[in-house]
Amino acid sequence: MEAHTKDAEEIIQKKLDDLSRKNRYQEIISVVIQSVHESIDLHTVLENSIEAMRKNIDKMDIVSIYLVEGDEAVIKAHHRFTRDYLKRAGRIPYPKGGTWKTIIEAKSIYAPDTDNDTAIGKAGRDMGIKCYLVVPLFIDEKVVGTITIVSYEKNVFDEEELKLLEIISKKISIAIRIVLLRSE
């Protein structure tokens, strides 16, 4: 009987953890949507998005948003990249690294273990990145940037984070489109 009670408690705890995670992810989506609709400044939208992800994604050590500028991918917002990393990889020339692989292939990349990954650049390896997820930002089916989440632990992200980043990427893409339309 005691084993049955322990199993039931574990199931309940897992369900509570899943619910908590979904609530945190809904918070991120709400912040991003609100920011897109309230701000005319792309920098504000990107920073608010980064902050919401930082606060609510478990086991994520770093988050960044790169946008394509000519033949470079340039960090426009981030949390916790070191000055050395920013100096080395704040502007990534075409076609280096996982960022450009995502841009070129127009699809998400999940590298659960960078020891077995060929796309990660030297700056990321030197920094100790062990796991990452990169999702493209689209405008009219053209990739204009990426959202990346990183961990210093292997195998920490799953399908839930991928779905979350894909939703966020759609909302951020709307903000980018609005800024482009206003500048025209």
pLDDT tens profile 89-134: 999 999 999 999 999 999 999 999 999 999 999 999 999 999 999 9
Once rounded to an integer, what is the mean pLDDT over residues 22-39? 83
| CATH class of this structure's domain 2-183 | alpha beta
Exposed, middle or buried, 113 (CB in 10 Å: 0-12/13-18/19+)? exposed
Once rounded to an integer, what is the mean pLDDT over residues 4-9? 82
How far is 86 from 84, CA to CA, in rounded Å? 5
Q: Taking a C-beta distance cutoff of 8 angstroms, is the pair 42, 176 a contact?
A: yes
pTM of the model: 0.89
Helices (H), the chain: 2-38, 42-56, 83-89, 97-105, 122-127, 159-183
Task: Give the number of other Cβ atoms within 10 Å of residue 74's Cβ.
Answer: 14
Report helix, strand or coil for 34.
Answer: helix
Task: Give domain limits for the chain.
Answer: 2-183
Torsion of CA 34, 36, 40, 46, to 10 degrees: 110
Task: Give the mean pLDDT of the chain.
Answer: 91
